[in-house]
């Protein structure tokens, strides 16, 4: 034991700083969150009372929680397919080597990605505002609507609006992933396709897509996990409102733990339980993806050979 420690002393020494950091902010919180989730705990200065699975039982019968969970799923299903398809189309267009301005297009589409989410949220609140907001102004001028639409203030339009802004914000990054995937398609594939007079949409659909499929699974996963962590955007646009109409999982957790608002006591154990459940949903998504990637990779190898 001591001998091993001595033999690998430098290895362990180099691991140390990172392990302390990871231990404090990654590994410890995971176990601590599971521990808190089994306690009734109202505020950081008060005592914890052990309730076992009580919080989870309450959680599963709490309609507000299920609504938040359901909204997170709606958000996921609303954004990911849109983001994946639009960015793929743009990536295929930009991947054309004869397109001289493709770098400029790429930069412009990528711009929202590097902009802080809170700033995006604020700008779009203005743009979508029913009072003098430019989007409403344009729609009124075009005669598409007769009076301003309160995009973020009405329960019917808030989710589609937030979904739209989210797709705009993150599309650039998905497009970069697609471009990276398209670059792995070997040149001779295009050349032989050209000889067979296979071009345009047919080329993309029958030849390029099957090759980039393994990447599609990874990109979908990254986008899906991103779509579940939408806290900052929704917080800065609507605070989860109006009437909880855009409250997703993390806003539920934040509100229960830190900002009860109406003066009621914070329920930290309950919020931790919601967090743990949310974490397991994400984890199962990840595992499902790992299996899917392995299968897709095996499939793509057959096509290529």
Q: Minimum Å distance from CB 301 to another protein?
A: 16
Nearer to another protein, 98 or 265 (CB): 98
- Exposed/middle/buried for 184, CB within 10 Å: 0-12, 13-18, 19+? exposed
Q: How far is it, in rounded angstroms, from Cα 56 to Cα 84?
A: 34
Token digits for 38? 């089994």
Q: Minimum Å distance from CB 268 to another protein?
A: 6
Q: How far is it, in rounded angstroms, from Cα 71 to Cα 159?
A: 9
Phi, psi of 49 (to 5 degrees): -115, 130
Q: Minimum Å distance from CB 214 to another protein?
A: 11
Q: Minimum Å distance from CB 143 to another protein?
A: 17
Q: Minimum Å distance from CB 236 to another protein?
A: 5
Nearer to another protein, 108 or 145 (CB): 108
Q: Could you tell me if 227 and 75 are in contact, meaning their C-beta atoms sit under 8 angstroms apart? A: yes
Nearest 10 degrees: Cα torsion 231, 284, 289, 70? -50
Nearer to another protein, 61 or 97 (CB): 97
Token digits for 79? 């954004």
Q: Minimum Å distance from CB 213 to another protein?
A: 14
Nearer to another protein, 149 or 215 (CB): 215
Q: How far is it, in rounded angstroms, from Cα 174 to Cα 180?
A: 10
Nearer to another protein, 61 or 96 (CB): 96
Question: Residue 68: which of 240, 284, 257 has the closest Cα?
Answer: 240
């Amino acid at each position: 034991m001591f001998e091993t420690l001595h033999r690998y002393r430098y290895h362990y020494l180099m691991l140390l700083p990172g392990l302390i950091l990871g231990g404090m902010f990654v590994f410890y919180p995971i176990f601590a969150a599971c521990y808190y989730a089994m306690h009734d705990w109202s505020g950081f200065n008060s005592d914890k009372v052990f309730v076992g699975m009580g919080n989870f039982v309450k959680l599963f019968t709490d309609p507000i929680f299920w609504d938040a969970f359901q909204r997170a799923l709606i958000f996921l299903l609303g954004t990911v397919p849109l983001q994946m398809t639009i960015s793929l189309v743009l990536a295929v267009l930009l991947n054309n080597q004869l397109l001289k301005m493709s770098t400029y297009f790429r930069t412009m589409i990528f711009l929202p990605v590097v902009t802080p989410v809170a700033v995006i949220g604020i700008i779009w609140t203005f743009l979508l505002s029913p009072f003098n907001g430019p989007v409403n102004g344009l729609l009124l001028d075009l005669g598409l609507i007769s009076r301003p639409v309160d995009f973020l203030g009405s329960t019917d339009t808030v989710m589609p609006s937030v979904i739209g802004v989210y797709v705009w914000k993150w599309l650039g990054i998905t497009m970069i992933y697609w471009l990276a995937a398209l670059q792995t398609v070997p040149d001779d594939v295009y050349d032989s396709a050209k000889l067979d007079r296979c071009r345009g949409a047919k080329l993309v659909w029958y030849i390029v897509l099957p090759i980039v499929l393994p990447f599609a699974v990874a990109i979908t996963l990254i986008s899906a996990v991103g779509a579940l962590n939408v806290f900052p955007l929704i917080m800065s646009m609507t605070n989860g409102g109006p009437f909880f109409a855009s409250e997703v999982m993390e806003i539920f957790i934040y509100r229960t733990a830190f900002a009860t608002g109406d003066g009621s006591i914070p329920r930290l154990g309950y919020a931790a339980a919601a967090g743990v459940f949310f974490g397991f949903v994400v984890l199962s998504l990840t595992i499902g993806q790992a299996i899917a990637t392995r299968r897709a990779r095996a499939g793509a190898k057959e096509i290529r050979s």
